[in-house]
Amino acid sequence: MDVYLVCGSKSDLGVAEECKNLLDSFAVSYRMFIASAHRSPDKIDEIVEKAEQEKVKVIIALCGFAAHLPGVIAAKTTIPVVGVPLDSSPLLGVDSLLSIVQMPGGVPCAGMGIGKSGAKNAAIFAIQILALKDQKLRNRLLAYRKEQRDKIEEANRELSY
């Protein structure tokens, strides 16, 4: 198994789609969970243990409000954890962003951008880690980048009319 995708709440599944779609399109294997650092702390232990057994390479955790989820997972494993802050509270995701990136020295948690674009980038970042030992995946990433460039070129051509 390559990636674990953990949502802090059922209501975060919508944003997690951005992540899933990219993992799917890169044919990366993943498993999805809902777990709350506060409402189901034991669930976290269970997920982390399973992740270690399944030799997961990256754990992506999406979470809003005081987003402790990524940090609490990171505290229990050496698997790299990528946190996606969500703007589900009134504070636009600033609470969530700071709760994720401002981890004290010793236990890192990689912060992505707030919301949908962060969810997308978490998937890409995980794929970049996987691609370090998988040339095919790396080629797909290069193809994905080319696609992005091509879309921009096309948009420029449309402008000329």
Over 116-131, what HEC string results? HHHHHHHHHHHHHHHH
Phi and psi at residue 60, in whole multiples of 5°? -100, 130
Encoded one letter per residue, x for contact with a copy of itself by CB under 8 A and - for no contact, window 71-100 reads: xx-xxx-xxx-x----x-xxxxxxxxxxxx
Q: Is 20 in the site for a copy of itself (CB under 8 A)?
A: no
Q: Residue 148 Cβ, how far from a copy of itself at the closest point, in Å?
A: 4
Of these, 14, 25, 54, 142, which contacts a copy of itself (CB under 8 A)?
142
Residues with Cβ within 8 Å of residue 126, at least 6 apart in sequence: 2, 3, 23, 28, 57, 58, 60, 82
How many residues in the shown chain lie near a copy of itself by CB under 8 A?
84
By CB under 8 A, the residues from 109 to 128 that bind a copy of itself are 109-118, 120-122, 124-125, 128
Check binding of 138 to a copy of itself (CB under 8 A). yes
Q: Applying CB under 8 A, does 50 fall inside the site for a copy of itself?
A: no
- Nearest distance, CB of residue 138 and a copy of itself, angstroms: 6
Largest CA distance in the chain: 59
Nearest to 102 by CA among 137, 126, 136, 74: 74
